[in-house]
């Protein structure tokens, strides 16, 4: 660019100014003879390198758009850059100084840089989510005929094989529990927030976690897991999703053919007027240089990158930039319950039991691995241990050590609780059904509190001693902080709020009573969630907010999917937007960002046309030259950069 700034621009400036010094300087720059040949060789080579190497991604995109017969912004950029390159080469050969090699350089370099900037911001966005959990299992532990086990790839598991799943592991494939009892957490697949007790003969869902005891699973005829089928469903939905062109690509498709047509007509007219082939060619190329809105190729990636950057600063990761163009006014906002409107973590919410019975309960629950047991131990273990003397034989120095200092003399697990003898007293901890099975006495007041707790989607744990229920510990998956305000504010934006969950009706009554919740769909499996989304889409635009693998097909099926980063990787992959800190209040922020990004793209697309708005009149009055073209480029690109620097939230 140095020769342009030092020589060529002053030469063209002299045509506007009657400055003798400038005129003398300009006259010294002539492109004839050896000087012109040197300039041609130098700039033809250097500009060619920039065009065909730096601008290769744009040229490739333009080629694909022609081959697919779907004009896009890459084609507009390529038309301008290549036309300027050919025009400049012809101009030098004709001894003229209106050489637009600089336009080729700027167009190829600036647009490619913007695309690179966009891709680098996207990569940074993906890097923010490296801590997401993965729900799929690659191997299984299969029983051999001699009683040993062998770890094999999932693909090698056959129907009828027996698979060992240890405590804390995921069930690799769907099957039937054929030995003993266990407790599993199926929330990642079904959305059910509370752990489920399983007995011999019950079905186990692939992807669920064995939280208590071990499981021996006989593989059913379909040697895949529910997780795999959900993943396939997400892939199919995403493969057929949207297909909407970016607004700028749509403009390109509307502009390119008329533009080329006008250029051909003008070139043919000049040729017919016998001005010569050179004049016709230059006129044809001039129309393309002036009329092609190539700045659209800069506006879109720069707009997207800026909006992605803005979203990252707000803790929102956007995976699909078409959100910024296809986001329309949402009619329905569908919230998953478990892990989205709630925390997805078991905690003790309320306790009504004697202190000494709580201490005995903690001793029993230390030996269990049920999520409710962990919640009880975490809530009361410190207080129980503090009440013991450090000199006592019963003192436990490490709460995590379940054997040292234990006062439990007998211990038995049930599918619905635990039982044992603590300090000489028989203790039973579990649900209402367990107490009835064991014929323990439960008062009407405790039974009423159990029923009420289930109405809030909570898990009531009854604690009893020597045949009588004496208290209740309510464990639950609590609503997220700020969920009420978020639902209210989104509703006030005009959207109808829907709650969609795999939990039963009783567990959703709390949300059903909210004045801004339009409807609650309970007991819905993953495929049912997708069907519900499709049904809602027939009545308007749908945004789905979820976090679990079971939500992934619904997230992919919705017009806009929003996932919380505390969820699974599959949910994040299926969504268009992920909330990094899992703050439910950031859902509204995500909508604000998407709306501002959409408006920014539209504004920048309009500003991109300022290049043509400036250059077309200049060309019509005969003042087109590299200097005026450079001014038009600076103004147009400067306006876009300034608009991108504005915070629209």
Q: What is the pLDDT of residues 622-637, one digit of tens each?
A: 888 888 999 999 999 9
Tell me, what's the pLDDT at 207? 74
Q: Which CATH class is domain 347-477?
A: alpha beta
Tell me, what's the pLDDT at 391? 40
Q: What is the pLDDT of residues 7-38, one digit of tens each?
A: 777 777 776 665 555 555 555 555 555 655 67
Pairing assessment for the beta strands 425-430 and 458-465 based on DSSP bridges: antiparallel
Q: Which residues contact 461 (CB under 8 A, 6 or more apart)?
A: 372, 376, 417, 429, 430, 431, 472, 473, 474, 475
Beta bridge partners of 183: 197, 212
H or E segment and range at residue 270: helix 247-272
pLDDT above 50 for 134: no
| CA gap 587, 545 in Å, rounded | 8
Q: Which residues contact 294 (CB under 8 A, 6 or more apart)?
A: 73, 76, 77, 79, 80, 81, 107, 111, 611
Q: Which residue has the tokens 């609590």?
A: 478
Distance of CA 281 to the CA centre of its chain: 49
Tell me, what's the pLDDT at 402? 40
Residue range 221-236: mean pLDDT, rounded: 55
Residue range 470-488: mean pLDDT, rounded: 88
CA dihedral 452, 454, 455, 458 (to 10 degrees): 110
Residue range 407-427: mean pLDDT, rounded: 84
Tell me, what's the pLDDT at 550? 66
Q: What is the pLDDT of residues 504-530, one digit of tens each?
A: 777 677 788 889 999 998 888 777 888
pLDDT above 80 for 90: yes
- Cβ-contact 184, 171 below 8 angstroms: yes
Quick one: pLDDT band at residue 204, thresholds 50, 70, 90? confident
Tell me, what's the pLDDT at 78? 95
Tell me, what's the pLDDT at 398? 42
Pairing assessment for the beta strands 425-430 and 417-422 based on DSSP bridges: antiparallel
Q: Which two tokens stand for residue 206?
A: 């692939």
Q: Which residues contact 18 (CB under 8 A, 6 or more apart)?
A: none
Task: Report which listed range, 159-163, 438-442, 523-527, 550-554, is most confident.
Answer: 438-442
Domain 316-343+479-589 part of CATH 3.40.50.1000: yes
Strand 542-546's sheet: what is its strand order?
Answer: 316-318, 577-579, 560-564, 542-546, 332-336, 496-500, 517-521
pTM: 0.64
Q: What is the pLDDT of residues 344-392, one digit of tens each?
A: 777 888 899 998 899 899 888 888 767 788 888 888 877 766 665 444 4
How many other C-beta atoms lie within 10 A of the C-beta of residue 221?
A: 8
- Locate the domains of the chain by residue range: 139-169+172-224, 316-343+479-589, 347-477
Range of weakest confidence among 154-158, 315-319, 469-473: 315-319
| CA gap 417, 378 in Å, rounded | 17
Q: Which residue has the tokens 């309510």?
A: 474
Tell me, what's the pLDDT at 345? 76
Task: Report which listed range, 172-176, 404-408, 485-489, is most confident.
Answer: 485-489
The residue among 335, 336, 333 whose CA lies nearest residue 541 is: 333
Q: Cα-flanking dihedrals φ and ψ of residue 351, to 5°?
A: -135, 135
The residue among 539, 382, 448, 457 whose CA lies nearest residue 191 is: 457
Tell me, what's the pLDDT at 106? 93
Q: Which residues contact 123 (CB under 8 A, 6 or more apart)?
A: none
Tell me, what's the pLDDT at 295? 93
Q: Which two tokens stand for residue 348?
A: 């003790």
Q: Which CATH class is domain 139-169+172-224?
A: mainly beta
Q: 3-state class of 240 per DSSP?
A: coil
SS3 sequence of 40-89: HHHHHHHHHHHHHHHCHHHHHHHHHHHHCCCCCHHHHHHHHHHHHHHHHH
171 secondary structure, DSSP code: P
| CA gap 15, 13 in Å, rounded | 5
| CA gap 402, 400 in Å, rounded | 6
Beta strands in 241-291 (DSSP E): none
Tell me, what's the pLDDT at 392? 41
Q: 3-state class of 601 per DSSP?
A: helix
Residue range 297-319: mean pLDDT, rounded: 83
The residue among 445, 441, 414, 444 whose CA lies nearest residue 430 is: 414
Burial of 506: CB neighbours in 10 Å, binned 0-12, 13-18, 19+? middle
Beta bridge partners of 283: none
Quick one: pLDDT band at residue 112, thresholds 50, 70, 90? very high
- Cβ-contact 544, 562 below 8 angstroms: yes
The residue among 490, 602, 601 whose CA lies nearest residue 544 is: 490
Mean pLDDT for the chain overall: 80
Q: What is the pLDDT of residues 207-218, one digit of tens each?
A: 777 877 788 888
Q: Which two tokens stand for residue 105?
A: 């350089």
| CA gap 463, 574 in Å, rounded | 42
Cα-based angle 119, 122, 124 (whole degrees, multiple of 5): 115
Q: Which two tokens stand for residue 262?
A: 């006008």
- Cβ-contact 497, 330 below 8 angstroms: no
Residue range 565-590: mean pLDDT, rounded: 71
Pairing assessment for the beta strands 560-564 and 542-546 based on DSSP bridges: parallel
- Residues of the chain above pLDDT 90, percent: 23
Q: 3-state class of 599 per DSSP?
A: helix
507 secondary structure, DSSP code: G
Q: Which residue has the tokens 């004496």?
A: 470
Q: How many CA atoms lie within 13 A of 58 on its CB side?
A: 34
Q: How many CA atoms lie within 13 A of 347 on its CB side?
A: 9
589 secondary structure, DSSP code: H
Beta bridge partners of 209: 170, 185
Q: What is the pLDDT of residues 248-280, one digit of tens each?
A: 788 888 898 999 999 999 988 888 876 678 888
Give the burial string for 29-56 (b: 16+ CB within 10 Å, else e): bebeeeebeebbeebeeebeebbeeebe
- Residues of the chain above pLDDT 70, percent: 80
Tell me, what's the pLDDT at 85? 94
Residue range 134-140: mean pLDDT, rounded: 64
| CA gap 589, 211 in Å, rounded | 36
Tell me, what's the pLDDT at 194? 63
Beta bridge partners of 348: 475
Range of weakest confidence among 175-189, 217-231, 556-570: 217-231
Burial of 312: CB neighbours in 10 Å, binned 0-12, 13-18, 19+? middle
Tell me, what's the pLDDT at 409? 81
The residue among 584, 576, 563, 594 whose CA lies nearest residue 132 is: 563
Tell me, what's the pLDDT at 24? 52
Q: Cα-flanking dihedrals φ and ψ of residue 333, to 5°?
A: -115, 115
H or E segment and range at residue 545: strand 542-546
Tell me, what's the pLDDT at 231? 53
| CA gap 461, 431 in Å, rounded | 5
């Amino acid at each position: 660019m140095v020769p342009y700034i030092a020589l060529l621009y002053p030469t063209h400036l002299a045509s506007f100014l009657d400055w003798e010094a400038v005129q003398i300087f300009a006259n010294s720059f002539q492109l004839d003879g050896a000087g012109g040949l040197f300039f041609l060789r130098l700039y033809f080579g250097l500009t060619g390198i920039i065009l065909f190497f730096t601008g290769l991604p744009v040229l490739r995109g333009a080629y694909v758009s022609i081959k697919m017969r779907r004009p896009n912004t890459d084609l507009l950029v390529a038309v301008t850059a290549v036309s300027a390159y050919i025009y400049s080469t012809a101009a030098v050969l004709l001894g003229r100084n209106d050489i637009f090699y600089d336009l080729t350089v700027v167009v190829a370099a600036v647009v490619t840089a913007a695309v690179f900037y966009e891709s680098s911001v996207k990569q940074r966005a993906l890097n923010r989510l490296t801590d997401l959990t993965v729900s799929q299992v690659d191997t299984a532990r299969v029983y051999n005929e001699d009683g040993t086990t062998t770890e094999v790839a999932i693909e090698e598991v056959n129907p009828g094989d027996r698979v060992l799943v240890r405590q804390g592991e995921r069930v690799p494939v769907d099957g039937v529990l054929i030995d003993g009892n266990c407790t599993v957490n199926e929330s990642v697949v079904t959305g059910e927030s509370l752990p489920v007790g399983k007995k011999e003969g019950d079905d186990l869902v692939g992807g669920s976690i064995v939280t208590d005891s071990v499981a021996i699973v006989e593989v059913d005829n379909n040697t895949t897991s529910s997780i795999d089928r959900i993943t396939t469903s997400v892939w199919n939905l995403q493969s057929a999703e949207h297909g909407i062109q970016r607004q700028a690509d749509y403009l390109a498709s509307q502009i390119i053919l008329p533009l080329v047509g006008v250029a051909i007509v003008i070139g043919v007219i000049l040729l017919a007027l016998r001005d010569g082939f050179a004049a016709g060619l230059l006129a044809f190329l001039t129309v393309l240089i002036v009329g092609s809105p190539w700045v659209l190729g800069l506006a879109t990636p720069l707009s997207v990158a800026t909006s992605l950057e803005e979203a990252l600063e707000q803790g929102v990761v956007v995976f699909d930039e078409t959100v910024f163009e296809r986001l329309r006014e949402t009619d329905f906002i569908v919230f998953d319950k478990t892990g989205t409107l709630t925390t997805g973590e078991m905690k003790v919410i309320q306790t009504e039991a004697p202190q000494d019975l709580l201490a005995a309960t903690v001793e029993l629950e230390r030996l269990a691995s049920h999520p409710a047991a962990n919640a009880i131990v975490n809530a009361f273990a410190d207080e129980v241990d503090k009440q013991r003397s450090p000199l006592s034989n019963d003192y436990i120095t490490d709460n995590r050590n379940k054997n040292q200092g234990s006062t439990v003399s007998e211990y038995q697990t049930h599918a619905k609780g635990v039982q044992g003898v603590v300090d000489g007293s028989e203790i039973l901890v579990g649900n209402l059904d367990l107490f009835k099975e064991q014929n323990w006495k439960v008062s009407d007041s405790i039974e009423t509190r159990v029923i009420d707790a289930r109405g809030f989607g909570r898990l009531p744990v009854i604690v009893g001693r020597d045949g009588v229920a004496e208290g209740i510990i309510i464990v639950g998956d609590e609503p997220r902080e700020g969920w009420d305000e978020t639902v209210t504010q989104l509703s006030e934006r005009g959207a109808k709020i829907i709650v969609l969950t795999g939990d039963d009706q009783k567990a959703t009554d709390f949300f059903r009573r909210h004045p801004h919740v339009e409807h609650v769909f309970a007991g819905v499996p993953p495929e049912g969630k997708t069907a519900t989304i499709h049904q809602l889409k027939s009545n308007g635009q749908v945004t789905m907010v979820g976090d679990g693998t079971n939500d992934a097909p619904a997230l992919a099926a919705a017009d806009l999917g929003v996932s919380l980063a505390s969820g699974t990787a599959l949910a994040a992959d299926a969504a268009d937007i992920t909330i990094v800190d899992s703050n439910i209040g950031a859902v509204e922020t995500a909508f604000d960002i998407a709306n501002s990004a959409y408006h920014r793209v539209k504004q920048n697309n309009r500003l991109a046309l300022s290049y043509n708005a400036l250059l077309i009149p200049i060309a019509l009055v005969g003042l087109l030259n590299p200097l005026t073209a450079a001014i038009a480029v600076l103004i147009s690109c400067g306006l876009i950069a300034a608009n991108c620097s504005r915070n629209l939230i």
